[in-house]
């Protein structure tokens, strides 16, 4: 649901605007170089942080949640031994647990949509190559996110997928944890463009 349709739609991307100004790839160069691997690692790390962070937010920060401490959350398997708390152990079961899990799932889905938008170009900013340049990707993202909303807001789907409908505050948290991945990737793309310009200038100087 998060990858299939957008990944297929990315096959219809237009060439980068500066494609004719970029030197051909060395035939001996690997498909994924060290810089691209580093970018994947950074984005992947944030996906993990955001997904787990949303779960932590619901249990420890959210005003309508149990507002427990980190140590209490990580000791959930020993709940009966915790003393002086303002919440009951059943907060780790049923609807409360499903709400926290749904926030994590929603963050993961939303981040994947942002990642799909960023994948329009390896190095070009979304400002230079906007998402509507690939209408198939736009439609795929709408359909994918629509499927996610369907399992959240159709009651009979809640039981099948063990999820709960989110309220406005919870959606704000989802967006708050998801949006940074877009800005993070834009910074990495900017660094790649600066790095590329530096490499081209070095080649020019050597040629001169």
pLDDT number for residue 204: 46
Token digits of residue 109: 């889905």
What predicted TM-score, i.e. pTM, was given to this entire model? 0.84
Contacts of 40 (CB under 8 A, 6+ apart): 32
Mean pLDDT across 114-121: 87
Read off the pLDDT of residues 143-181 as tens digits, 9 standing for 90 and up. 999 999 999 999 999 989 999 999 999 999 999 999 999
pLDDT number for residue 206: 46
Considering the segment(s) 4-12+34-73+87-207 as one domain, its CATH architecture is: Up-down Bundle (1.20)
Domains in the chain: boundaries: 4-12+34-73+87-207
Per residue in 36-52, is it b (16+ CB within 10 Å) or e — as a string?
Answer: eeebeeebeebbeebbe
**How far is residue 48's CA from residue 104's CA, in Å, rounded to a whole number?**
10
């Amino acid at each position: 649901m998060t990858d299939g349709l957008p990944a297929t739609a990315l096959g219809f991307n237009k060439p980068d605007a500066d494609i004719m100004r970029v030197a051909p790839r060395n035939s001996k160069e690997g498909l994924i170089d060290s810089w691209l691997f580093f970018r994947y690692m950074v984005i992947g790390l944030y996906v993990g942080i955001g997904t787990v962070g949303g779960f932590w937010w619901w249990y420890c920060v959210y005003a309508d949640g149990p507002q427990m401490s980190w140590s209490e959350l990580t000791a959930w398997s020993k709940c009966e031994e915790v003393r002086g708390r303002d919440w009951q152990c059943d907060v780790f079961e049923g609807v409360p647990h499903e709400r926290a899990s749904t926030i994590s799932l929603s963050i993961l889905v939303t981040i994947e949509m942002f990642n799909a938008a960023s994948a329009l170009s390896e190095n070009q900013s979304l400002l230079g190559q906007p998402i509507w340049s690939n209408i198939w990707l736009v439609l795929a993202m709408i359909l994918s996110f629509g499927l996610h909303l369907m399992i959240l807001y159709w009651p009979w789907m809640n039981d099948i997928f063990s999820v709960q409908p989110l309220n406005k505050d919870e959606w704000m948290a989802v967006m708050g944890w998801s949006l940074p991945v877009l800005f993070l990737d834009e910074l990495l793309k900017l660094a790649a463009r600066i790095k590329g310009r530096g490499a081209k200038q070095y080649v020019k100087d050597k040629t001169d």
